[in-house]
Chain A
């Protein structure tokens, strides 16, 4: 047995759209498309930042790896969207991630919510992955070719995130009494922030077929969630939706801390490269 063959499987980088490809492309978004890409990028960036915490803290090693994969997918989406958005203003993904102030971020409140326990993280994953799947599966038809290309890669990945979250929702909901209670508590804490995801605003209206109207995603989202909950014997939490504001820079109290941590080093060394 030669050493090079001793491991049964072969590794390759594969070929898919990478943030670097977008950085080197000359496609320049309109100001409105850039603003829209910022929203999508910030959602994924902030969630990836949150999920990164789990790596080395998950309930089992297999889950460290699973959550790591999801965080890395989201990181890839964030980098692509931010890189593209930056083309409108001559900025890089890092300029946007590290040098914007809190009111300049466009993430929705849901993405900023704390990890809490594993059930709360899974509840947030459930909502995000189902929302993003519906969104990206329509964004592939965007009249903006770059947005469509990013969505085409992302939709397959968030499809898996959807499956991952659903598997865990079933297990936690119908596992032990403790896990059942924790799942309900996680969903209850998450649900106030669902509504903001599906709210239309003037920017989206102005984008026409380049963007996807959030309100059109609510029905398919509800249908899938209701079906899953019926199977897992869960109820949609009866809690009022919170007034959001992330899309125009009015954030939850959590974002300040997230950014303080994320940006500290880059801001300490202005102009440095890494």
Chain B
């Protein structure tokens, strides 16, 4: 597992702030939008904001201008922990090939009603 600053929905390298930069820039936040009641919040994009209060407001202004949502989450990009893309094998191989976890595996019961 790797922590650290992330952007995009599976995480990125920490953005370099540039050594010559004297001012501290606004941190990066990830925005999640619930498009209607009953659905999950889904990653919509990122933005910069000085703090959480402003981040959620900026998210409203930026990511719901066209009636896209009924609820918002903002998360500091640096708080996201993502799986290591190099460990993709060890992480995601196991779930491959286990057809018996899926209903489509059971063909003999095809056509039986209410099953």
Contacts and interface: CB of A to CB of B under 8 A. Distances in A.
Direct contact of A and B (CB under 8 A): yes
A62 interface: yes
B78 interface: no
A11 B62 contact: no
Interface residues of B, number: 23
Contacts of B63: 9
Q: Interface of chain B, helix or strand or loop or mixed? A: mixed
Nearest to B62: A65
Interface string B29-58: 000010100000011100111100110011
Given A62-B58, A167-B54, A9 B49 contact: no
B43 A65 contact: no
B10 interface: no
A163 B66 contact: no
A99 B58 CA distance: 37
Nearest to A14: B67
Contacts of B68: 9-11
Contact of B50 (A13, A61, A66, A171): A171
A196 B75 CA distance: 43
Contacts of A13: 66-67
A145 to B, nearest CB: 26
A12 interface: yes
6 contacts: A8-B33, A9-B42, A11-B68, A14-B67, A69-B61, A167-B57
A153 interface: no
| For the complex of A and B, 10 pairs with smallest distance between CB atoms | A11-B66, A9-B68, A8-B42, A14-B67, A62-B58, A66-B61, A12-B67, A65-B61, A9-B33, A69-B61
